[in-house]
Amino acid sequence: MEIPVYRTIAAEIAGRIARGELPPGATVPSTRQIVAEHGVAMATASKVLAALREQGLVEARPGVGTVVSGVARPVEAPLDRDRVIRAAVTIADAEGLHALSMRRLAGELGMPTMSLYRYVADKEELVLLMMDRVMGANPPPQDLSPERDGWRACVRALARLQWSMHRRHTWLAQAVSFTRPLLAPHAMAQTEWVMRALDGHGLDPVTTFRIAVTVANYVRGTAVNLEQEAQAEQETGITDQEWMAAQHDRFAAVLATGRFPMFTAFLAANDNEFDLDILMEFGLERLLDGLEPLLTD
């Protein structure tokens, strides 16, 4: 039977540890390094480190990465729910929500998987608490008020705040749902803040709520692409800019057919820069333009 690729790579790293090439406390190759060196997917690289952890050869060190076991661990704060949530956010930030499991989280914390259930009921509650922690760390702006700055400035500011959260936590868009929403108090506080910014402009509560959710859904819908971009970069080791540069000749050949004059005109324009941040800002302003007629003075 063919040996899985991840086990072959894990055995190679285990051999380096056994020979002393990677002594206790040394940092082992990261998932990104494994991807680049062996040409495997990020999921395979994650399995490599998981296999080494299961053998007790490596362990996660906060702020350091995955290291060879055998060196005394620094004194850590007693385990509590907050530390569990922080560890889960760290994993998701680094490798995406797909890489987070109760077993993986328990391994990072150095505890049996079943012990985690003293702190969270299941993965759904874990994700809820992760999302609420991120939202709580990013409260609505306190330096703006609808009376002084106007509803548009307030809604724009909160949308940009949410975009910055998605930028830092690319898994967040996968966690947020508007059809089966998780009752996260800090997320609800952001919706409430937008609704207050819209209050007093002749809207009924249902329309006010729908506007607040529509804006959040627009930001989230754009942000869904962030995790895909991050994962593609991790798996290939190529940035979006590098990928586009590599496609230059293919684009040129297609455009040379003359079938796409509008694309050609766009590429010939001086200000043809395009990325998700630009798309987010352009779409947000058009969304606010569309809401303008609904609000009375």
**71 near 25, Cβ under 8 Å?**
yes
Question: Is pLDDT at 240 greater than 70 in this prediction?
Answer: no
Confidence of residue 262 (pLDDT cuts 50, 70, 90): confident
CA distance 76 to 29: 24
Question: Is pLDDT at 165 greater than 50 in this prediction?
Answer: yes
Quote the DSSP letter at residue 144.
Answer: -
* Per-residue tokens: 272: 């043809």
* Per-residue tokens: 12: 């190679």
Is the model more confident about 259 or about 271?
A: 259
Please tell me the predicted confidence (pLDDT) of residue 297. Answer: 65
Question: Is pLDDT at 213 greater than 60 in this prediction?
Answer: yes
Question: Is pLDDT at 264 greater than 90 in this prediction?
Answer: no
* Per-residue tokens: 124: 């759904």
Amino acid at 237: G
3-state secondary structure of 23: coil
* Per-residue tokens: 226: 């962030």
Please tell me the predicted confidence (pLDDT) of residue 181. Answer: 62
Fold of 1-61: Arc Repressor Mutant, subunit A (1.10.10)
Q: What single string gives the DSSP state of each residue in 94-110?
A: HH-GGG--HHHHHHHHT
Question: Is pLDDT at 212 greater than 90 in this prediction?
Answer: yes
Question: Is pLDDT at 228 greater than 80 in this prediction?
Answer: no
- Report the chain's mean pLDDT, rounded to a whole number: 85
Confidence of residue 206 (pLDDT cuts 50, 70, 90): very high
Q: Give the best-scoring range by mean pLDDT among 20-24, 188-192, 262-266, 268-272.
A: 188-192
**Stretch among 16-25, 121-130, 174-183, 201-210 having the lowest mean pLDDT:** 174-183
What mean pLDDT is predicted for residues 140-166?
Answer: 94
Q: Find all residues with CB under 8 Å of 213, minimum gap 6, and list them.
A: 178, 191
Question: Is pLDDT at 279 greater than 80 in this prediction?
Answer: yes
* Tens-place pLDDT, residues 46-59: 888 888 887 788 88
CATH number of 139-294: 1.10.357.10
Q: Tell me which H or E stretch contains 256.
A: none
* All structural domains of the chain with their residue ranges: 1-61, 139-294
Please tell me the predicted confidence (pLDDT) of residue 284. Answer: 97
Confidence of residue 36 (pLDDT cuts 50, 70, 90): confident
User: For 206, what's the count of Cα atoms within 13 Å in the CB-facing half-sphere?
Assistant: 0
**Stretch among 24-33, 59-68, 86-95 having the lowest mean pLDDT:** 59-68
* Per-residue tokens: 159: 């949308």
3-state secondary structure of 82: helix
Amino acid at 118: R
Question: Is pLDDT at 290 greater than 70 in this prediction?
Answer: yes
